[in-house]
Structure 1
């Protein structure tokens, strides 16, 4: 096979950035400290710890179109089974809602959800009886045996047993799953996916590419003939709770499709001699390419297409040299196609650039943005403006939020303020932190207040309108 560098680069580039890891670390640290120090809740609070993929170090970086990542925080309380789960959840929700950092808090069946920028936090209260963890289900009013710490320990032991290749393999499978994710397709995820990999992992002496292929082969060999072909669904048991079948919530059709996709992908890479191109088909385009490399690749493809068009024109002009009228028509057709290609190139370039600003908005600190240089960012924005003018369109509200992040980092207060006004005019959610920056650093409060008053719709209590009302209130308090 011999694609060592491809998989090394893949693992490097699907790893969450240092900025992402640092931000997640600060989110969970601040929340844990808040609960531990809360005047009333500290008497109920025994411990908190992060769980899930970040705790197991199997998380992967968010994709461009991914809305939010999940972060799981377990809260160990001193309650017992005689307390209804809904009471504990309501209390935790109230405590979190009292903190101004956690404005969007909602009750869920087994946890309290907290929405933050780019992240959804599941805060899960549990109790301890007989040295065992229990999680409450408020809908069924029952306590369910659980063991989140054992999942973390099991993952570490499995990784050590497999020469530190289990976790990298899990990350590749998670990345593969993202490329296959569709609305109507239920593929194994989380601890179920990890357990399937662990139960079928190949020989760890192999490099990661061989290990991936042998594991995929093993999954097919161990489940297809013995179960799926007989109309049966296998059992995959929780490594922390052996009586818990992780596949019980999946249908035969779900699991059959999972195996079918793996089989198809194996055929793709094997029939193409495990080429990098075939791996790109299976795992998606390598995320390692920079913006410049993507542009170069696309420019090359455009050039090849243009060359083909020109060759066609030359061939036809030779054969039809006496047919002036037809030649003229062909020339017009080529010009139309050239314009179409230019429009497509502009569209791709626009999506690349706006996606790059989105990544900066989500993941880069002000220091990093500023360090790349003002000219660097303004050239990107200038290009986007130029394409917008050709396409007779304007920036949308969510795009103005990306621009605002860049302008704020570059200390371009006027441009930053104009972006906020555009967000308001376009009815796009306005963060209270953005408004605070206007108060502290600019002199445009009056105009922004008027823009907010015009945009606020009476009787509309959506998140966007609520953000406008909060912003207006803050501006009026600081006038």
Structure 2
């Protein structure tokens, strides 16, 4: 094998297989039907968003914390506060699912099933159609505006522009991030990748090398994360050195330090 074949094979494995897709799809359909029945007449709508809709979610085998983001927009005529809507969702999941599968992680309700985890996000909508979700616990504001699926088009366009290499690259980088403590949020990592420019990159290997060479950290980032980034850069540098010296097997062994099989 080679670095290229290893990254290609791994990125393929990091894509959801059909049986996992079918299970998630069935769970989403069940969730949707139960929301309609339980909140009859109280909702404007509900829908999935996030990495699942972008095709960049990792399989549970590679990331036990993989989840499907699901937004529930309440009519909320009495302008209830976020915690009230969170309580509504918690009551809903307690009604249909075992309580051991449920917990609150502000500003979401987490529903953990055997094969997937849902992050249920309560929301409200104003007269002009703007959507608001609860802000983080540390924020002074109770609600923040959001456009939950706006990033999808941005990522899709980048994927097209770079010959369908961006989504496989995102999955690889999310896998690396997961193996190294998930310091970067999924959205922040994906957005940073999409914002990058990739000159003279053709293969997934080229894109991976370029991404790590661009990866930086801030002064205030944890020392542990800085060390992991520095280590990754050294591995990429050594991998390229092995390739220049005609040592493909050594290069493959080196890159597996960053991207081991799972």
| 1:173-188 map, 5 Å | 173-181=173-181, 187-188=183-184
- Matched residue SS, 1:63: coil
- TM-score w.r.t. length of structure 2: 0.83
Equivalenced residues, count: 253
| 1:10-29 map, 5 Å | 10-29=10-29
Q: Where does residue 60 of structure 1 map in the other structure?
A: 58
Cα 1:170–1:78 change in 2 (3 A) is same
* 8 Å Cα contact 2:57/2:66 also seen in 1: no
Structure number with the higher helix fraction is 1
Which string of whole-angstrom CA distances, capped at 9 and with x for unpartnered residues, describes residues 221-243 of structure 1? xx47xxx5xx4x6xxxxxxxxxx
- Is 1:281 matched with 2:251? no
| 1:336-355 map, 5 Å | none
Which string of whole-angstrom CA distances, capped at 9 and with x for unpartnered residues, describes residues 90-133 of structure 1? 11211222225676333332111212214321111111123322
Separation (CA, whole Å) in 2 of partners of 1:43 and 1:108: 26
Separation (CA, whole Å) in 1 of partners of 2:136 and 2:190: 27
Which string of whole-angstrom CA distances, capped at 9 and with x for unpartnered residues, describes residues 185-215 of structure 1? x531301111222233423751111121122
Q: Flag the structure with larger Rg.
A: 1
* 8 Å Cα contact 1:74/1:125 also seen in 2: yes
- Is 1:262 matched with 2:258? no
Q: Where does residue 445 of structure 1 map in the other structure?
A: none
Q: Where does residue 155 of structure 1 map in the other structure?
A: 155
- Is 1:215 matched with 2:211? yes
Cα 1:151–1:265 change in 2 (3 A) is same
- Matched residue SS, 2:254: helix
| 1:72-471 map, 5 Å | 72-79=69-76, 82-100=79-97, 104-129=101-126, 130-137=128-135, 139=137, 142-181=142-181, 187-203=183-199, 205-219=201-215, 223=216, 228=218, 231=219, 251=221, 253=223, 256-257=226-227, 259-273=229-243, 275-284=251-260, 286-287=261-262
- Matched residue SS, 1:47: strand
Structure number with the higher strand fraction is 2
Cα 1:36–1:204 change in 2 (3 A) is farther
Q: Which runs of 5+ in 2 are unaligned?
A: none
Cα 1:23–1:126 change in 2 (3 A) is same
Separation (CA, whole Å) in 1 of partners of 2:240 and 2:136: 49
- Matched residue SS, 1:31: helix
Separation (CA, whole Å) in 2 of partners of 1:147 and 1:255: 30
Separation (CA, whole Å) in 1 of partners of 2:85 and 2:61: 35
